[in-house]
Structures are given as structure tokens and as C-alpha cells.
Amino acid sequence: MQRSFDDLGAPLAEVTFCVLDFETTGGSPQTSLITEVGAVKVRGGEVLGTFQTLVNPGCAIPPKITVITGITDRLVAPAPTIDSVLPSLLEFIGGSVIVGHNVRFDMGFLQAATRRWGGPLLGNQQLDTLALARRLLVDEVPNFKLGELARRLRLPNQPSHRALEDALATTDLLHYLIERASAWGVTGLDDLVALPTITGHPQWRKLALTKPLPRRPGVYHFRDASGRILYVGKATDLRSRVRSYFSSDRRRKVAQLLRETHDITFQICTSTLEAELIELRQIQAEQPRFNRRGRRAIKPSYVKLTTAERFPRLSIVRSTSSDGVYLGPLSSRRAAETIVDAIHTALPLRRCGGRIAKSAVLPVAEPCTAQQLGVAMCPCSGATSESDYQAVVNVAVRALTGEPDLVLGPLDQRMYSLANEERFEEAAAVRDRAGAFVAAVSRQRRLSMLESIDRLVVETERGDRIELGPGATDLTTAEPATLDEALCVSSWLERNAEKVKLVTADGQLCSPLPALPDYKPVTSP
């Protein structure tokens, strides 16, 4: 059973731990068997119950093991087999966090026994007191064996190489380590599980800067010694995200960022949408040195079908001020060029540049390359009538204004034809063009929907309300002021459509147009 995110973030006083210890016939789960089981279930420092039994391994116990544990063949002869013990043991463990001193050893035997028994393997969260002790007591003890730690720390229970006694000693050690870990801001299970990795980080002593961070959505700021913002980020859980910089985040510049960080500040938000918008605005206002994305406002490009001229063609423009049919906004000129290539692959629109005056006599020049290759109906050949060309233009207009299949259909045919001929690189290029076209149409639809909304109120899973539209009262999320913010809001609505509850909608919230296919590359398992 996998632990949920809420379980991992629960206060340690509310987490149920099950401390396990096994005595075995040897050190390998593949060749050795369990001879004794000991388990202690605790929560909030209180023992909820214990589990102890000898186990008949069905084989002779090596003499050296008997010397260490005192467990003999005669002692385990009347004991139940592990198959008889497992149902009760697994019920005792339940969904608790499994703890052990070198927990991999105990879990290896438990999983091997469960596999042989035919039961499902456990997916419980695990916690290793050995790893915790190595981090928190590194300068205080000569070694980290359970007996040495119990003796030096004067734990109430001392281990004896018997399962229950060792489990009780490990429980005492767990409580001691939790108390020591609180000095480093450890308050939840996720903090405790990550601590062995975090404390190995070169900047782990700065972990104390994260103590005030709440488990709420918001925006966080890494600041240097003078208070300047080095980096701005957003998070669903501020505490978990910022602490991850000390453990799981392996981005190249994180080490340098943490070296220069002297303070971490934050701003709590009512929703992840508010966090995304505030992050965007603060990055553009502060220009933090370690932020790479979002520092510059998007300068959109559009693909335009120039319907006002004699033989309309596709062009890439920066605004929609003149007559024409537009697809966009697009994030870059390169994206626009890919979409132009997609439309040209599907429809034989002319590719030669320049306006053709209404009084011009055709042909006006030598046929262009596209006309000579037979992939475009360019008027430069003199063989294309205005009426025949207008029929192609009409199809292009329909494709750009609500019928994208008129472009995607020919692209699909071309892609599969190339694949059947084993021209896979060319097929992949056509697939990428189709994907870029779909992405542009999807973005345009989302923005059009957002513009059509007079007022929208949704409720998040946390119960927070978000209000959008010109008449909204929430100034943080009311009306996107820039294209960047409009894209942020529209993307958030699409990603979270199944996670929010619709309260009020004044305007068209859904699209009457059919869903678009997905052209993402398929990766092998």
C-alpha cells in the first residue's frame, strides 16, 4: 500500500510506526529463513501493541547463529511456520510506517517470505534508524550498531539479539532520533524520511531556514546576504518543495544557489493558480539571477493567412491588426515556422513571397521551386486560376477557424506513408509539425474561452474559491493583465478541470469544437 502525500506530510505525533526485527538462520533472504519475529507499534511516543513469536524455519539452525541468539532447533520445533505467522503479522503492520535498524535487512526477509507465501508485497513507507543515526550522531559515537547506540544513549531497553527486545530498543532509538531531528526543523514524516539524504548535503546546516515554511500553496524566495532575491519559485506545498533543494534536486545551479542563500522568505497563496501568477509577476519584476524561465514577457508571433491579397499566402507576423485569418499567439518565431511547414505540407498554398497586384499579368516570374516540385499552386507558373486557388484558400480558412482535421488528415496520411516506407526520420518530422499545429490550435481555443468568460468562480479541493473575469473581486486572479498571465490562467484551468468544482460561470466555458489528437512521441517501456 502506497502512502499518500497527506500521510507523508502528517505531523510525526500522528504517524503510526511499526518497528520490526527478525532473527534468522543467516544473512541472505534468498538462502536463509526467519526464526523469530518481534514488532512494536507506536504513535505519539505511546506503545499501541507488540507482536512476538518464534518461527519454525523448517531447517537446522547453524551453531554460530545459536551462539549469537540463543535460539535452538529444540526451541523452535513446536513454533508455527512463517506461512502461519504472516497473516497475523501483516494485519498487525497494516498501513503503518515500517521502521528498522538497517530496515533493508528486515524488509528483505519479510518480502521474501511474503513472496513465497503468495501474498502481495508491502508498499509501506520505510524508515531506517541506522541511516538517521549516521547523520544525526556522526560525531558522538564510534559506531552505529544498535547495542552501541543503546548503551551510549542509555536507552530504556537494551538489545539482546532477540527479536522483541531488539525491536523495543529500536523504538527507543527512534524516539530519541525524532527529538534530535526537531532541531533541524523536522516536523513531518516526509522531513524525517528525507533527513539522511539532506544532512549529507554540503549546505545542510541551512536547513534550519526552512523551519517557518508551512505546508500550503505559495511562492518562495531565496535571498542573498543583502536581501536581494536570487530565485523565485512556486509550490503546492512550500515546506516540502523548498526542503527538496537539500536532497532530491540535482539541477546544476542548485548548489551555487544554496551557497549564496542567507534567507528564505515566502508568501502563502489561496490556490496554486494564485501562486503561479504571483511567481510570474515577481520574476518579471525582480529579474532574479537564478531564474531562467519567465524573465522576459512573451513577444507573440502569429501565423497569418493574408486573405486581402489576390493569391493569399501564409506569413508570420507580430500583431493581428490587419485583415487576415490568424493562428496564435505563438511563443516564438520558430514555433510559427513549424506550423507554417505543417500547413504547407497539408495544403498547396503558394510559398513564393511578395504581393501580386490585381492588374498584374501572370506569370509574373519564373516558376518557384515549390511550383516546380509540384507541392504548391503558385501563380508564378501562370497555370493556376484564381478560382482554383481560392478553393484551396477556403479549405485553409476552415482549417484555421474550426476544422483542424483538414490539415491533420493529410499530415496523418503523409506520416504513415513515410513510416511504411521506413523513412522514419521524415515521418517523425511530420509528426512534430502536426503536434505543433495541435498545440497552437489548443492554445488559441483556451484563450478564446477565457476571453468569453464574464465571470467564473471555481472551488478547489481545499475549499478555496477562485474568481475570474472582469467583474471578479479577487484582484490577484481577477483579470489577466498580459498574454503571459492569460496563458497561465488558461493552462491552469485545463490542467485542473477535473480537480475543481464549478460554482458560477457567466459565459462560454466549454468549446463546441471536437477534441484534438495527441501527437506526443511514444516511448518504449
Catalytic residue numbers? 161
C-alpha closest to that of 90 among 74, 111, 116, 76: 111
Contact of 469 with 507, CB cutoff 8 Å: yes
Contact of 280 with 489, CB cutoff 8 Å: no
Residue 112, H or E segment: helix 103-117
End-to-end CA distance of the chain: 23
Contact of 42 with 48, CB cutoff 8 Å: yes
- CA torsion 141-44-243-500 (nearest 10°) is 160
Q: What are phi and psi of 144, to 5 degrees?
A: -115, 25
C-alpha closest to that of 21 among 47, 59, 48, 53: 53
What is the sign of the dihedral through the CA atoms of 116, 117, 119 and 121? negative
Residues 6+ apart with CB under 8 A from 458: 465, 466, 468, 500, 501, 502, 503
Query: Could you give the CA distance from residue 146 to residue 503 in angstroms, rounded to a whole number?
Result: 57
Query: Could you give the CA distance from residue 113 to residue 36 in angstroms, rounded to a whole number?
Result: 13
Residue 324 falls in which region: left (phi positive, over 0), alpha (psi -120 to 50) or beta: left
> Got the DSSP string for 475-502?
TTTSS--SHHHHHHHHHHHHHTTTTSEE
β-bridge mates for residue 38, sequence order:
21, 52
> Got the DSSP string for 385-446?
-HHHHHHHHHHHHHHHTT-THHHHHHHHHHHHHHHHTT-HHHHHHHHHHHHHHHHHHHHHHH
> Got the DSSP string for 219-282?
EEEEE-TTS-EEEEEEESSHHHHHHHTTTT---TTHHHHHHH--EEEEEE-SSHHHHHHHHHHH
Contact of 12 with 38, CB cutoff 8 Å: no
Residues 6+ apart with CB under 8 A from 504: 455, 456, 457
